[in-house]
Amino acid sequence: MTENFLKAYNEVMSSEGLYSNHPADKGGETWKGVARKFYPNWEGWKIIDEVKKTETNLNKVLSANEKLEILVKEFYYKNYFTDIKLDKLNEVDIVVELFDIAVNMGPKTAIDFLQRSLNLLNNSQKLYKDIVVDGDFGNTSYNTYKVYMASRNVKNNAKILIKALNGFQFNRYVKICEMNPTQEIFFYGWLNRV
């Protein structure tokens, strides 16, 4: 696991919380953001189910379980970090932002937001041509990202790209709540991620 992954993991997990089984959460039962509804075969559920049989303070006991922590890290590294090729990026702040979006909204959504942001930041296609928004971080998207990062002031480019990503993230939260007011219960916490 890379240093950028560990930094992103530690930051994002501070927003994810621990064990949850909120009735309004579309993922249902979750541990550190891994939703049983979407990943029912994840190995960590065996450990969690065993602990649930005997313990009342789940978060304390599960947090101390080293094997469970390893399974969570491996899950996110494989399914959310390397799967969408965040290991190719050097800019840690952008890596953290994209990883956070991927964990909260799905990997394809994170790359979709990145592609849409890059298209908006190309100065009416003077810096580079628009790319297809397909949620796949392939060679074209990666090369476009590199051109964007090298196009002006790299440090400022990263900040501006993160602002664009945050804008898409915020708009998505608003749409979710407007379409289904039961999700407003999560809005305050979601804003901590923007």
Cβ distance 65 to 51 under 8 Å?
yes
* pLDDT of res. 154: 62
d(CA 140, CA 29): 37
Considering the entire predicted model, what is its pTM?
Answer: 0.85
Beta strands in the chain (DSSP E): 19-20, 30-31, 34-35
Task: Map tokens 């580079």 to a residue.
Answer: 128
Task: Map tokens 């979750």 to a residue.
Answer: 30
* pLDDT of res. 184: 80
Q: Would you list the DSSP string of 23-67?
A: TT-TT-SEETTEETTT-TT-THHHHHHHHHHH-S-HHHHHHT-HH
Q: Which amino acid is at 116?
A: R
pLDDT tens, position by position, for the chain (194 residues)?
889 999 999 988 887 778 888 777 777 898 998 989 999 999 999 999 999 988 888 889 999 999 999 999 999 999 999 888 999 998 999 999 999 999 988 899 999 999 999 999 998 999 999 999 999 999 999 999 999 999 876 668 999 999 999 999 998 888 988 898 988 877 777 777 77
